[in-house]
Amino acid sequence: MNDLIGPKSRQDLIRRGFSRRDFGRLAAFLTAGAALPFYNEAALAQGLSAMPNLPPDAVRINANENPMGPCPEAAEAIHQVIQQGGRYLYHETFAFVAALAEIEGLSKDHVMPFAGSSDPLHRAVLAFAGPNKSFVVADPGYEAGEKAAAFLGARTIKVPLRKDWAHDVQAMAQADPDAGVIYVCNPNNPTGSVTPKDDIEYIVANKPKNAIVLLDEAYIHLAKSAEPASYLVAADKDVSILRTFSKLFGMAGLRAGAALGRPDLISKLRSYSAGAMPVTGMVGATASLKVKGLVEARRKIIADIREETAEWLDKKGFAVLPSDANMLMVDVHRPGREVFSALIQEKVAIGRTWPSMPNHVRISIGTRDEMAKFRTAFGRVMNV
């Protein structure tokens, strides 16, 4: 089975600190796809977002989904393509790549399509971390990369967010001279906080020489105060940006996303992959990109509901962290897990807690109606 890994890849693996014995495990992954535990928001959400016992009328604000779903133009494009679904329709994937490249000011060879962004996130860790090449992440941060690092035997180094809730880019740059991947999520999950452009540029300029900066921009479209960093990709820096259509574009179940990066860098992600993209996701994403004003309109709807919710919580004595995304971290003054369980009894599923902030819970922003139900249930559970 080790024959699956060619001589060039072997050299790369040895450089990253893998022993020859590890090759078998990786080869098993490449063949069976078996061992790598795969995480996304739904899998990380306590009890999964598809909680089997939740009634259909439950409020689901646990997985940073978008209750608006795909925009009408995307829904129509998907509807139209279904009849042709017996074909691979590769040209639809090429059309998606072309549309995204144009919007981001990149050439097409800097865009690699995926069915969502969890896939390239896991691949990037597999490709660039290893037993001698650590994974550096903010705390609290999105945990999927850390799980992939653990699978590889790569060390995860957690660097607390700064007091202003931005990534501590100075500490992250210095965390390990042998870092393989420095993961920056902007805006951050679970805090929704933004790391300013200067700081992103700082970490790209000051990271250890052989590390890549993996910039997860899953929530970038939701943030008024954050700027997409595709210009760093256009400048051929050691950066890969992850994009998804699961958040603002409301296509979490439909699956579309991309990795942006220098061709030599993103080609390392492809070597772990095979297969065509789901055509429904591709046409839905392309159609969404072409709707003028969609990002701004949806961003405003979500921001308005977030601010109303934040104001109410604040008035009731529960401080929230500054968020520019579709989530709020709320200080509930007691173990968040207890509040989570109490709210489930009220048919409201909220997000998980993070070990470094056990008295906070993350709530995702649902519809105005869902947030009204949340407030009623939260008021009952917290006696306010």
Which stretches of the chain bind ligand PLP, using CB under 6 A?
A: 40-41, 64, 116-118, 121, 142, 185, 189, 216, 218, 244, 246, 252, 257
Nearest to 326 by CA among 366, 358, 295: 366
User: Residue 359: what are its φ and ψ, rounded to 5°?
Assistant: -95, 15
Q: Which CB atom, from 142 or from 378, has the smaller least distance to ligand PLP?
A: 142
Q: How far is the CB of 258 from ligand PLP (least distance, A)?
A: 10
Q: How far is the CB of 352 from ligand PLP (least distance, A)?
A: 12
Dist. CA 366–CA 363, nearest whole Å = 9
Q: How far is the CB of 193 from ligand PLP (least distance, A)?
A: 12
Q: Which CB atom, from 129 or from 218, has the smaller least distance to ligand PLP?
A: 218
Q: How far is the CB of 145 from ligand PLP (least distance, A)?
A: 9
CB-count burial class (<10 Å; 0-12, 13-18, 19+) for 80: exposed
Tell me, what amino acid is at 254? L
User: Residue 363: what are its φ and ψ, rounded to 5°?
Assistant: -115, 140
Q: Which CB atom, from 156 or from 246, has the smaller least distance to ligand PLP?
A: 246
Q: How far is the CB of 17 from ligand PLP (least distance, A)?
A: 26
Q: Which CB atom, from 13 or from 64, has the smaller least distance to ligand PLP?
A: 64
Q: Which CB atom, from 251 or from 265, has the smaller least distance to ligand PLP?
A: 251
**Is the sign of the CA dihedral 354, 360, 361, 367 positive or negative?**
negative
Ranges of beta strands (E only) in the chain are 59-61, 111-114, 135-139, 156-160, 181-185, 212-216, 239-244, 257-261, 327-331, 348-350, 360-364
Q: How far is the CB of 345 from ligand PLP (least distance, A)?
A: 25
Q: Which CB atom, from 116 or from 130, has the smaller least distance to ligand PLP?
A: 116
